[in-house]
Structures are given as C-alpha cells and as structure tokens.
Chains A and B, each alone.
Chain A
C-alpha cells in the first residue's frame, strides 16, 4: 500500500533534483546557442503543419457545434463568433495544441534522451566532465518555452480562420458577424492567460519527457515504454495544470 506512494515521492524528488542539475554547470554559450537553434527547429518549425491542421478543424468543429446549439432567433449570430473565439483563446488553442505537442515533441524527447542513455552517450558526456542534464535538457527547455507560446498564438489564429471558414461554408454565421462577436467579448487578459498556459504546458512537456528519458534503464523496449509514459504523464499533468490555472487566474 505504501510502496507506490513512496515511489511517487521518490519520482518527484528525482524530477526536482534533475531540474536543479539542469540549471547548473553551463559550458560555452556558443555551444548552447547552436543546440538551442537545433531544438527550436525540431520543437517549433517541425510542428507548424500539424498544429495548423488540428487548430483549423478545432475552430471549424466548434463553430458548427455552437451554431447547432444556438437555434433561437433571439440570439444574434455574432454570439457564435464570441463563443468560438473565447473558447479558442482560453482553452482550445493552448490545451489542444499542448496535448498534441505532448505526443509529438514529448515522445521525441523521451526517446532521444532514452536512446542516448542506453547507448552510453550520456555516460560519455559525464566522463568528459560535461553536465549531461544541462547539455541535453536546457536547450530543449529554452527552445520549448519560446516555441510553445508562438505555436499557441499561431494555433489560435488558425482556429479563428477555421471557425470563419466553417461558418461561411455552412451559412450559420458570416465572417463579419463572426468577427463582430469575437471582438465584442475580447479582453486583453484572455491572451495573457493563454500565454501563461502555453508556457506552463511547454515546461511540463519538456521537463517531464526529459525526466522519463534521462532515467531509462535497459534497452530499446524500455526506451519505447519511457516514450509512452512521457506522453501519458505529460498529458495528465497538462490537464491538472489547466484546471489549477483556470481556478487561480479566472
């Protein structure tokens, strides 16, 4: 009964210690700059297409479903734009994008670091006197903390486009009504809240996935398991953080 609890505490402790190690023992900035740009390409640029497809359909589906529910002639059609826009900014863009990225980026990070662990590449770094946690995780974290908000803003914009396109295509709301509704309920803080979520979720995905990969023991089978666990744990943590942030900030 107590064993899983102790294991959970141990895992949290190890995770915190890994985070502490990640921010110590920096080597040459030039080296990290190169790594950071590589990671930014992997995490940011390579996710653009996937994020665009998902955001477009999320926006479109939300518009169609909202229009389906708002059948009363007393409710102006611009309300559809208001609901879709607010939902996209507050929830859909940051959360759905992050859940998708937990699968794409999280599994990639866990399997990459895990493979380096089982093939002794991390040991090789340590023997050279290099802090492997800093060398491997910090560039990913910096790249992620910049790329995630950018991707979420981009996702939010595409989601609006999807909503406008679906509204026009189905005739439920025209682009003008959609944009009037979207602007009428817009508050600056919604964007701040969206960015706070993006940064928090980015931090969770990068660090949890790195942790899963960094402490892999065994071979290819364990690397695969760590990759799956990284996605599952990251997704769960995102949902918990989503609730906590909403409760605290809204």
Chain B
C-alpha cells in the first residue's frame, strides 16, 4: 500500500466548491501527475496536501499519519520529509543561490559549513547549474530559477516532492528539460513525486500514475500506458475534450 494517499478532500471558498471529494492513492517512488485545465482545483489540492490550505473535510495520509490530525511534532516530521517546487520558484530574494539552497540545511540540520557547501554544490550540479552560486534570484532566468527551486527542494533528500506547475511560463525546450530533471530526480532520490500541471505535453515525459481533475472532481485515474494505449472514445467526455484540445491526442 502506498504511504501517501488522500481521501475525500473537500474545499469550499465562499459559495464556490473548489474540491468535491477527491480521493487518490499515490504511487511511491514514482512521478504522479495531477492534470486538468486551469482553475479546476489542482493547485488548491496540492496546497491542501502540504498544509498551506486547510481543507473543509477529508484525510491526507503520510504513512499512517493523517496530516490534518497530526500533532505539531508529527507535522514537523512530515514537513521535514517534504520538498516543494513552487510555480513562481519562491526563491528568497535577499539570498544568493547557494544561500537559498543551503537554507533548509541550516534550519534543520547540524551540518558543518563544509558539509553544507558540498551538499549545495551537489544539488546544483544535479539540476545542471554551474557558476551561479553567488548570483541573486533577480539575476537568473525563469528556467534557472526553477532549477534552483528544485535544488532547494531536494537538498534534504525528501521522501515526497511536490511540484506546482513546474514548467509554466517557460519556453517548450526549457519546460521539457525541467520535466526530464524531475523524472531523473524521482529515479535517483526515490521520491514520491507529485506534479500538478495543465501542460499535457508533460505526459510525454512524466506521469507513472495520473489523476485528471475537472471542476473540482476526480474524473479519471490511471497510468500513462492506459492513457496512451486507449482509444479516446473510452475516456470520460471531459478528459476526451481536454486531450483533444491539447492536440497531442487527436
């Protein structure tokens, strides 16, 4: 049984029901994709899972612990095992690249300066960044920021890696490179990776297990093989329209 699963997650903002009871079991040490059109509730779901938004109902299990009912110590322990790549990269403007990547280590470990330096160099090399350690986020391109964000997310060797729209706003080539990096990091670090995206092209690289959300509802669950090997007519209408609109599944 997977150690990460969500059960009947519901969230309402005012009169609008954004998540209508979503349940899903994530594949461990694989890339799990949550796809759907913009505004369907993907980002709200991922934010509920990492504790940034409190859902109205439902359970979020990390192992046997329900995150919503966890004690502060249990929550801290879960969050220590969790890395997140944000849509805007969310790098700290006042810190250099190396300070950004080293930040979680300084907070949560008693590592020496040389250990921190080595780990930061390793993580930056791992995401293909060289010679940018002393630059500030404002001096980096969008793709480079995303890579630094990824390096920071993996610096503590997390068990779970959450990526919120990792390639939005990037040119197609850089976007594919980021997808490949996420795939490689999942393999090398054995992380349970959850990627939220509306970019259907990411499915060509990522996505061992897929959850399709439409209008706050889980419309389809399956694997990439099932998605690619199946006739479009066999899919729910909403997924069919989404796939057709992407142009990849005519």
Range of interface residues on A (Cβ < 8 Å): 10 to 19
| Any A CB within 8 A of the CB of B79 | yes
B165 to chain A, nearest CB (A): 11
B33 to chain A, nearest CB (A): 20
Residue in B79, B90, B107, B108 whose CB lies within 8 Å of A121? B90
Are A120 and B87 touching (Cβ within 8 A)?
yes
Are B51 and A31 touching (Cβ within 8 A)?
no
Q: Do A115 and B93 contact each other (CB < 8 Å), given the known contacts A126-B52, A127-B79, A128-B107?
A: yes
Q: Which chain A residues in 96-153 approach chain B with CB under 8 Å?
A: 115-116, 119-121, 123-124, 126-130
Residues of A within 8 A of B93 (CB): 115-116, 119, 121
Residues of A within 8 A of B79 (CB): 127-129
Closest A residue by C-beta to B75:
A129
| Any B CB within 8 A of the CB of A3 | no
Residues of B within 8 A of A129 (CB): 75-76, 79-80, 108
Residues of A within 8 A of B51 (CB): 126-127
Are A120 and B88 touching (Cβ within 8 A)?
yes
Interface string of B67-102 (1 = CB under 8 A from A): 000000001100110101011101111000000000
Q: How many angstroms from the CA of A124 to the CA of B162 in the assembled complex?
A: 12
Residues of A within 8 A of B50 (CB): 127
Are A119 and B75 touching (Cβ within 8 A)?
no
Are B86 and A120 touching (Cβ within 8 A)?
yes
Residues of A within 8 A of B104 (CB): 128
Are A28 and B107 touching (Cβ within 8 A)?
yes
A38 to chain B, nearest CB (A): 8
A27, A115, A116, A123: which has the most chain B beta carbons within 10 Å?
A: A123
Interface of A toward B, CB cutoff 8 Å: 27-28, 31, 115-116, 119-121, 123-124, 126-130
